[in-house]
């Protein structure tokens, strides 16, 4: 009893910090609900708002059941799924202004669903370990400053750097700008890999496009060999007449997933612009067997596109075998994407 009194009262007998906070919250609630008490209509008002809140909760909670038959609506929704959470405070304020107890209670449903889906991303999960740092960047074929972009991403300290959307005429510029940092490199079609460690078994990965936008290489690190895949899946488009057009992207994702499934090495890292988020069911062939470094060891959502106002994480670093330790986005370059980087711990044969 004496301890409780000490925590809630000051030495001079006045209210302590705990009491003042409680009183402040009570006053705030009284102001918000002034005129509600005794008003039986608070349960009958705001039924439309309540219905909207329930619908929002259902859309977020059952997004995987929304069909892709018409305009790939399900994938479009899943690409920007976290942003649906912005509707929660709007509904909350509307319920307060409408003085509807029914709507206020209903708003709890989408809030809980959103926190269940994305609440973990609000917690800093970065660690201090890791022995292998990787980075990836869609440099944009129309990049006006390829040399500057190369120097910017090399400053990340990555042991291995993947670049996508390499224009053939710009490859010598990237090669020259990165030569002092990376002794080893390989370019296949429009994707490339620069490494501080030796590369071997470099080959194109067929993702059913007819031209080369994916590759695989073995990186021999001091800890173990790592299979590194670099991929740039086809772009998707939102068209009024066709919706979210992503059929070619989906086929390429299936082919990439099949290639990774056949990979014999224990440590596998996928770097690239997948033109889709981890929530997009169309990437399931890849996401079902690999972990996102951002989801496992990031701080926040790590949105990477578009660079001017990032709204989606479509540039991915994913691992299998290796353990994610930290993940982050890098400062903006002259590209329309943000570079992303991660540090992982490589699994070794002796455990």
Q: Give the pLDDT score at 221.
A: 97
In the DSSP assignment, the letter for residue 9 is B
Q: Give the pLDDT score at 1.
A: 41
Q: Token digits for 98?
A: 């409408």
Percent of the chain scoring above 90 in pLDDT: 77
Query: Per-residue b/e over 57-84, b at no fewer than 16 CB within 10 Å?
Result: bebbbebeebebeebbebbbbbbebbeb
**In terms of pLDDT, which residue wins out, 24 or 134?**
134
The stretch 239-254 carries a mean pLDDT of 73
pLDDT digits (tens, 9 = 90+) for 79-136: 999 999 999 999 999 999 998 999 999 999 999 999 999 999 999 999 989 999 999 9
Q: Give the pLDDT score at 140.
A: 98
Q: Residue 350 pLDDT > 80, yes or no?
A: no
pLDDT digits (tens, 9 = 90+) for 135-150: 999 999 999 999 999 9
Please state, in angstroms and rounded to a whole number, the distance separating the CA atoms of residues 163 and 170. 12
Contacts of 81 (CB under 8 A, 6+ apart): 60, 63, 117, 277, 279
Residue pair 88/107 in contact (Cβ under 8 Å)? The answer is yes
Identify the H or E element spanning 101. Answer: helix 101-118
Number of Cβ within a 10 Å radius of residue 54: 14
Q: Residue 272 pLDDT > 50, yes or no?
A: yes
pLDDT digits (tens, 9 = 90+) for 307-339: 999 999 999 999 999 999 999 999 999 999 999
The mean predicted confidence, pLDDT, of the chain is 90
Residue pair 216/228 in contact (Cβ under 8 Å)? The answer is yes
Contacts of 143 (CB under 8 A, 6+ apart): 149, 167, 170, 333, 334, 335
Contacts of 37 (CB under 8 A, 6+ apart): none
Please state, in angstroms and rounded to a whole number, the distance separating the CA atoms of residues 199 and 327. 24
Contacts of 187 (CB under 8 A, 6+ apart): 166, 171, 193
pLDDT digits (tens, 9 = 90+) for 192-210: 999 999 999 999 999 998 8
Start-to-end CA distance of the chain, whole Å, equals 53
Please state, in angstroms and rounded to a whole number, the distance separating the CA atoms of residues 214 and 191. 6
Q: Token digits for 260?
A: 């990774």
Task: List the Cα angle 163/326/113 in 5-degree steps.
Answer: 105
Length of the chain equals 351
Q: Give the pLDDT score at 13.
A: 55
Task: List the Cα angle 49/22/101 in 5-degree steps.
Answer: 15
Q: Give the pLDDT score at 164.
A: 98
Please state, in angstroms and rounded to a whole number, the distance separating the CA atoms of residues 9 and 19. 8
Of the candidates 343, 341, 350, which has an alpha carbon nearest to the alpha carbon of residue 154? Answer: 341
The stretch 250-270 carries a mean pLDDT of 97
- pLDDT band at residue 16 using 50, 70 and 90 as cut-offs: low
Give how far Cα 283 sits from Cα of 24, 81, 212, 316, Å.
49, 15, 19, 12
């Amino acid at each position: 009893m004496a301890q409780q009194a000490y925590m809630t009262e000051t030495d001079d007998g006045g209210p302590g910090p705990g009491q003042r906070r409680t009183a402040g919250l009570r006053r705030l609630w009284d102001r918000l609900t002034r005129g509600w008490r005794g008003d039986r209509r608070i349960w009958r008002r705001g039924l439309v708002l309540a219905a909207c809140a329930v619908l929002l909760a259902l859309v977020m909670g059952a997004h995987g059941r929304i069909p892709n038959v018409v305009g790939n609506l399900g994938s479009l929704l899943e690409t920007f799924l976290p942003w649906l959470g912005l509707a929660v405070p709007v509904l909350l304020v509307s319920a307060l202004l409408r003085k509807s107890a029914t709507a206020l209670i209903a708003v709890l449903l989408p809030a809980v669903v959103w926190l269940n889906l994305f609440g973990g991303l609000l917690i800093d999960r970065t660690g201090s370990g890791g022995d292998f740092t990787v980075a990836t960047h869609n440099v944009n074929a129309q990049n006006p400053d390829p040399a500057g972009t190369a120097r910017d991403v090399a400053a990340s300290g990555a042991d291995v750097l993947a670049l996508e959307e390499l224009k053939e005429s710009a490859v010598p510029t990237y090669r020259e700008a990165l030569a002092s940092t990376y002794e080893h490199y390989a370019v296949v079609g429009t994707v490339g890999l620069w490494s501080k460690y030796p590369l071997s078994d470099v080959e194109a990965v067929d993702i059913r496009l007819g031209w080369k936008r994916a590759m695989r290489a073995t990186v021999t690190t001091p800890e173990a060999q790592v299979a590194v895949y670099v991929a740039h899946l086809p772009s998707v488009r939102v068209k009024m007449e066709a919706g979210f057009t992503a059929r070619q992207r989906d086929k390429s994702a299936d082919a990439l997933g099949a290639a990774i499934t056949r990979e014999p090495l224990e440590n596998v890292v996928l770097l690239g612009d997948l033109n889709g988020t981890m929530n997009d069911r169309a990437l399931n062939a890849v996401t079902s067997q690999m972990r996102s470094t951002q989801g496992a060891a990031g701080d926040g959502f790590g949105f990477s596109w578009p660079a001017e106002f990032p709204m989606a994480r479509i540039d991915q670093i994913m691992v299998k075998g290796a353990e994610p330790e930290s993940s982050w986005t890098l400062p903006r370059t002259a590209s329309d994407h943000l570079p992303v980087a991660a540090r992982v711990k490589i699994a070794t044969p002796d455990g």
